[in-house]
Amino acid sequence: MDFITGGAHNGKLAWALQHYEGEATVIRAREAFDEEAASLVIVDQVETIIGEWSSAEEFFQKLVEWELRKEVRQLVFIGTDITSGIVPVEAKERQWRDEVGFQYQQFMKDAETVYRIWFGIPQQLK
């Protein structure tokens, strides 16, 4: 599993589609996951999934388990950096921001490779 982060509209998905070889299945919020669709699965906008799904963590774990079942599979999570900047006034928005931060920490810990994409330029962090 790899993790890609960076600012909004900084080219994270475009970079991932060029960087990883093979046909990719891209999953975004509320999209179904077909386990036989491709050997490369890119989960884009994970911050949105965290905000909309009460079972986001279970969904992410299911994907990690999918990757581990066959060596040829590659899973990539892409999340926008929302932890910098202004802290939201609304308690619900602060809670979501915290949950995203905690999940990103888990992705960073578990990922084989981590990239930060800033204005289309990749930087390997791990």
Q: How high does pLDDT run on average in the chain?
A: 92
Assess whether pLDDT exceeds 80 at residue 83.
no
Q: Residue 122: pLDDT band by 50, 70, 90 thresholds?
A: very high
Contact call for residues 43 and 27 (beta carbons, < 8 A): yes
Assess whether pLDDT exceeds 80 at residue 41.
yes
Distance of alpha carbon 1 from alpha carbon 117, whole angstroms: 17
Provide the whole-model pTM. Answer: 0.92
Query: The domain 2-124: what is its CATH number?
Result: 3.40.50.300
- What residue spans define the domains of the chain? 2-124
- What lies within 8 Å, CB to CB, of 113 at 6+ separation is 2, 3, 124, 126
Distance of alpha carbon 80 from alpha carbon 11, whole angstroms: 10
